[in-house]
Amino acid sequence: MSKQSLLNRWSIVLIVFLNLTTQIHSNEDEYRCPESPLTIHPCKCTKVTNIGTTIECLNTNLASLSVALANIADQKVPIDALHIKRSNFDILFGTVFLKLNVHKILLRSTPIENIDEYVFNGANETLTELELMNTSLNTFPISFKTLGKLISLKLDKHQIKTLDSMAFDGPISQTLERLYISNGNLTEVSVEFLQSLRKLKTLDLHGNQIKELKRNQFKNLRDLESLDISYNEITKLDSSHIADLTKLSFCNISYNAITEIARGTFARNSVLRLLNMSGNKIKRLDANSFRGMRFLRRLYLSENLISDVGRGTFSAITRIGTIDLARNLLKKVDYQMFASLNYIEIIDLAENQIVEIQKQSFKDLYLTHINISHNHIAKFESQSFENCVNMTTLDLSHNFIEMFAKRTFDELSYATELLLSFNKLRNFSAVK
């Protein structure tokens, strides 16, 4: 390559660099705090980034807030995040956000009961995230319908009881991707309400008082990737509720009142990676419980009433990395219960009532952390651990172990860390 060609290339690189530098500096000049802080009192500018400013308004009333935000709008100060905290109004109305260029509004610990239908006029062209936390809202505000750019909506610690079919019949239904309505009095979510949110990827309804899921409760939410309905009062879950969620990768149904995993419940959720059903009332598992979930990596079933795990229960989820069955009612670990789980990293059986570890219960495992502490184990059968190479930790503490049968561990099975405290072993000759 000639010297002239090299010079030309370096010139192009230098020009691009200078253009980028100029653009960065121009952004820094554009995004600045208001020139006179007194004009936006009781609000203040706390941060400036290349996205915009952060404005915080604390302990204010609506009239003072309106004046401050109007002055910010007049000075054409773009706001990345507007924080309104611990303020003194129960109705949000008027032209408080008119002409405001704001991306996120976070309103917290303010006793709002009602939001006027047109209060977001002016901000609805730029607002992408809205969070209301610790309010007194008792109905779903109609004003949200106009937010045609909104991507994320979070209502946490609220008083809303129902979500009807009319809640999202506006522009918001075409853009919303993340919806959080949590830690409140919600008892019912209409199927029509959710069906209007075709682009939804995250739905979080945890910490409410939902007792029943309707048939086709999440119908048509085919883009949904994350579902959290934990800490409710749901008694039943089956395929009629979640069959349409074919892209679901995260599902948290913990701390409800579900009594069983019905056959085929997750048969169509084939890309599910994490399933949390801890804190329910499930009594048994069998070979049909997890059929179709071939990519499942994390399974949490602690704090249930599980006393029976049928043969082949985990044979359909051979890619599993974590199985948590702690704090259940298991009395034994059956023959080959945890066999050939080649990707398993953690098996937690702590705080059950296990007295028996059967032959080949743990077989063909590699680099696995196994916790069987706080049980009632007195001894192990021969070949309980077969071809379990380099178990990272084997925790057998807080049991009643007096001895290990000959060949409890075959010649390939060993643990980097073996915990045996609080047992009835008298000497190490019993550990073979």
Mean per-residue pLDDT, 418-423 = 95
Q: Residue 214: pLDDT above 70?
A: yes
Mean per-residue pLDDT, 101-124 = 93
Distances (CA, A) of 84 to 59, 93, 138, 142, 162: 8, 15, 20, 21, 26
pLDDT score recorded for residue 70: 93
52-110, pLDDT tens digit by residue?
999 999 999 999 999 999 999 998 889 999 999 999 999 999 999 998 999 999 999 99
pLDDT score recorded for residue 415: 95
22-41, pLDDT tens digit by residue?
444 344 446 788 877 888 99
Lowest mean pLDDT, pick from 76-85, 166-175, 307-316: 166-175
pLDDT score recorded for residue 17: 44
Distances (CA, A) of 397 to 98, 325, 338, 404, 421: 64, 17, 20, 14, 5
Percent of all residues in the chain with a pLDDT value above 90, rounded to a whole number: 71
Q: Residue 15: pLDDT above 60?
A: no
How many other CB atoms sit within 10 Å of the CB of residue 76? 10
Q: Residue 340: pLDDT above 50?
A: yes
Residue of 165 and 316 predicted with greater confidence? 316
pLDDT score recorded for residue 367: 96
> Is there a contact between 362 and 394 (Cβ–Cβ < 8 Å)?
no
Q: Residue 185: pLDDT above 90?
A: yes
List Cβ neighbours of 320 (8 Å cut-off, separation of 6 or more). 296, 297, 298, 299, 314, 341, 343, 344
pLDDT tier, 4 (very low <50, low <70, confident <90, very high otherwise) = low
Q: Residue 350: pLDDT above 70?
A: yes
Instruction: Look over the chain and give the mean of its residue pLDDT values, rounded to a whole number.
Output: 90
Report how far residue 237's alpha carbon sits from residue 213's, in angstroms, rounded to the nearest whole number.
7
236-262, pLDDT tens digit by residue?
999 899 989 999 999 999 999 999 999
pLDDT tier, 380 (very low <50, low <70, confident <90, very high otherwise) = confident
